[in-house]
């Protein structure tokens, strides 16, 4: 079954109404069924329907809906949803801890270009409060595999050897560096002391399904972004093929209590029906905008970041891991010339609204240096994010209207500084 069809007809499609019902009960009548619900924090029918639907998008071998089966549970892939993307990131790392004895040394190898909120959690919780180590490596360069191999070699002299959680993104936010999956997947598949977690937020399962690569233990999504796509829900998910990790995620979900409401789950079930067509429209518009912005280099713009540009081609093998037929999503970033004001540019826009987040139907603009939650300005600069970087989240408006808006704002900025 095609991806676009699975968006509309997941395994948990309702058997009576066209839409999945919203179950608002906080507690449920106990019965003898092993699949019965008991308490809303532990489980909820609307949440179960959403988790099953996300599983069907993250891994294409999840069984298609059958008229003979009304079960909302799938046996191939397990998804747990959380009340935010950050709660999902935390849960994915803690689930790995749950799989090892407390005495084992477990460290994180994190992409040096990852989302600022991930860095903040690692610094403030993982390092400062849990007294564990994090190593930042540019996992989007070919040399990263050699660095990890050196870490493994050094840790092998201890007993037991250290375990490393490798946390990376397919497409980095906001500089849009593209991961070369093959070397990393090959290394992780051959070494039991590596757990690979992939944040797929900027590509979504519409473009990329890392669980199908073969060595990825968990995939994290900020559902807030593309999957919901309407700027009205905060949510995250973690999906895995491994039963022990699925059990750990359930325990964390229940114990941590960071679960989304039934209404939010319903909103996402509705929003994800149009994920495929939204992603295609946003990708097409973003690629055109990036190409035209690149032609403005010199006067007002220093550099443009988008994977379709000839100045930053993705790895040659990427077509084996990413659905290039869809594109690269709706995020474009670019640097203004250092003497120009990012705030003057953003305030001059009419259609692009200055707000955090991305992936929704409306177009947004932000200044990542100030708005992306980096632990410090120093950490932002270390990731290559400087004060003059602008990030666009391209929506589904008419692309000519968006281009007109960007052009008039750039012209006004140029005139103001002439």
| Mean pLDDT, rounded, for 309-320 | 87
Question: Residue 368's pLDDT is what?
Answer: 95
Residue 384 has pLDDT above 60, yes or no: yes
| Mean pLDDT, rounded, for 282-300 | 93
* % of the chain surpassing 90 pLDDT: 80
Q: Which of 261, 275, 260 is nearest to 228 (CA)?
A: 275
Lowest mean pLDDT among 8-17, 51-60, 379-388: 8-17
Residue 399 has pLDDT above 50, yes or no: yes
Sheet (strand 389-393) strand order = 301-305, 331-336, 389-393, 364-366, 353-354
Lookup result for tokens 């270009």: 113
Residue 388 has pLDDT above 80, yes or no: yes
Question: Residue 12's pLDDT is what?
Answer: 72
pLDDT digit string, tens, across residues 65-105: 433 333 334 447 999 999 999 999 999 999 999 988 887 89
pLDDT band for position 15 (50/70/90)?
low
Look over the chain and give the mean of its residue pLDDT values, rounded to a whole number.
92
Question: Residue 30's pLDDT is what?
Answer: 86
Please provide residue 7's backbone torsions phi and psi, each rounded to the nearest 5 degrees: -60, -35
Question: Residue 60's pLDDT is what?
Answer: 82
Domains with residue ranges and CATH for the chain: 78-272 (3.40.640.10), 275-416 (3.90.1150.10)
């Amino acid at each position: 079954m095609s991806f676009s069809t699975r968006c509309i007809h997941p395994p948990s499609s309702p058997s009576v109404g066209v839409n999945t019902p919203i179950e608002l009960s906080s507690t449920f009548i106990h019965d003898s069924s092993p699949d019965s619900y008991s308490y809303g924090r532990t489980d909820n029918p609307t949440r179960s329907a959403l988790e099953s639907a996300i599983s069907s998008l993250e891994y294409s071998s999840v069984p298609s809906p059958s008229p003979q089966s009304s079960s909302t549970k799938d046996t191939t892939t397990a998804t747990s949803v959380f009340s935010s993307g950050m709660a999902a990131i935390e849960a994915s790392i803690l689930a790995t801890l749950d799989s090892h004895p407390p005495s084992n040394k477990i460290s994180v190898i994190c992409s040096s270009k990852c989302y600022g909120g991930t860095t903040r959690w690692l610094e403030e919780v993982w390092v400062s409060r849990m007294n564990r180590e994090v190593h930042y490596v540019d996992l989007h360069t070919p040399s990263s595999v050699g660095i990890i191999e050196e870490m493994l070699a050094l840790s092998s002299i201890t007993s037991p050897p250290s375990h490393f959680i490798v946390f990376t993104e397919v497409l980095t936010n906001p500089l849009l560096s593209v991961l070369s999956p093959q070397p990393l997947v090959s290394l992780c598949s051959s070494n039991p002391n590596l757990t690979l977690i992939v944040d797929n937020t900027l590509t979504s399962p519409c473009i990329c399904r890392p669980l199908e690569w073969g060595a990825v233990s968990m995939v994290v999504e900020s559902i807030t972004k593309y999957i919901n796509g309407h700027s009205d829900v905060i949510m995250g998910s973690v999906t895995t093929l491994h039963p022990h990790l699925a059990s750990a995620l359930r325990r964390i979900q229940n114990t941590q209590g960071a679960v989304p409401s039934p209404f939010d789950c319903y909103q996402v079930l509705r929003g994800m029906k149009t994920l495929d067509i939204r992603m295609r429209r946003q990708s097409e518009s973003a690629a055109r905008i990036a190409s035209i912005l690149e032609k403005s280099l010199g006067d007002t713009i220093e550099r443009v970041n988008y994977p379709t540009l000839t100045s930053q081609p993705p790895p040659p093998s990427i077509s084996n891991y990413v659905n290039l037929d869809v594109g690269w999503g709706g995020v474009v970033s670019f640097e203004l010339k250092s003497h120009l004001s990012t705030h003057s540019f953003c305030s001059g826009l009419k259609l692009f609204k200055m707000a955090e987040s991305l992936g929704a139907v409306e177009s947004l603009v932000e200044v990542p240096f100030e708005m992306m939650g980096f632990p410090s300005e120093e950490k932002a600069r270390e990731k290559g994010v400087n004060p003059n970087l602008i990030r666009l989240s391209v929506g589904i408006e008419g692309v000519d209207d968006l281009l007109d808006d960007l052009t008039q704002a750039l012209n006004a900025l140029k005139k103001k500084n002439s």
